[in-house]
A and B are shown apart, each in its own frame.
Chain A
Amino acid sequence: AQTVTQSQPEMSVQEAETVTLSCTYDTSESDYYLFWYKQPPSRQMILVIRQEAYKQQNATENRFSVNFQKAAKSFSLKISDSQLGDAAMYFCAYRSRYGNKLVFGAGTILRVKS
């Protein structure tokens, strides 16, 4: 079974600075998707970014980018120019390419200081 580990329960960043959230996963599959979801205080699950394992190029979405290291089974999220609105719980998630369910990590609470 696949597992996702987020080893940082909480992180803090100063507004306008850069922060990196860590995620590792365990799988025997070679083809899969990885995701970062943001959950603000409203509790809505918002997709931040996704990475397809067969693509070597790291995904980017505006201020959000990932560092995908397939051999190391590592998938970190970098947030540049942090904003107060980035404060939230961030979940790393895994899904088999031809599977259905999402497997989530425990989450990292990100606090942004002004």
Chain B
Amino acid sequence: DSGVTQTPKHLITATGQRVTLRCSPRSGDLSVYWYQQSLDQGLQFLIQYYNGEERAKGNILERFSAQQFPDLHSELNLSSLELGDSALYFCASSVELAGGPEQFFGPGTRLTVL
């Protein structure tokens, strides 16, 4: 158990809908990262938040957004969902803004868009 929690574990929805994925980092970790794992794109970095502020952006679609709250949990919002958004979404956390040896991954949320 990495100490990072993600809810829900599974999510099934329809095209055009909006969903919210939630992540709670390890106690004491200020950085939260979101990654997407899909058959087409592999594992790719989406976005990072540090202590409530967006700090780095990767290949995140404009239909996707994220935020980190004062209690440090983070939410990834996916809207106008398409079939291609079906993927496993991971959250990871670390203590530092950058550098440091390790990010700890949550168990992931499996999103299926029908």
The yes or no verdict on A and B being binding partners is yes
* Contact string against B for A residues 70-109, beta-carbon threshold 8 Å, 1 for contact and 0 otherwise: 0000000000000000000001000011111111111100
Give the contacting residue for B48; candidates A46, A100, A103, A104; CB below 8 A: A100
Q: How far is the CB of A35 from chain B (nearest CB, A)?
A: 8
Q: Which residues of B contact A44 (CB under 8 A)?
A: 2, 105, 107-108
B97 and A43 contacting across the interface, CB-CB below 8 Å: no
Range, interface on chain B: 20 to 34
In the complex with contacts A33-B101, A43-B88, A101-B108 CB distance below 8 A: no
Say whether B112 faces chain A, with CB atoms less than 8 Å apart. no
Alpha-carbon distance A15/B34, docked complex (angstroms): 35
A106 and B88 contacting across the interface, CB-CB below 8 Å: no
Given contacts A45-B90, A45-B108, A106-B42, 4 further A-B contacts (CB under 8 A): A33-B101, A45-B105, A96-B98, A105-B42
Binding site for B on A (CB under 8 A): 33, 42-47, 50, 52, 91, 96-107
Can you list 21 residue pairs at the A/B interface with Cβ under 8 Å? A43-B88, A43-B107, A44-B107, A44-B108, A45-B92, A45-B105, A47-B102, A96-B98, A98-B99, A99-B98, A99-B99, A100-B33, A100-B48, A100-B55, A100-B98, A101-B45, A101-B56, A101-B58, A102-B35, A103-B45, A107-B42
Closest 9 pairs (CB-CB, A-B): A45-B105, A101-B45, A104-B43, A100-B98, A98-B99, A100-B56, A100-B48, A98-B98, A106-B42
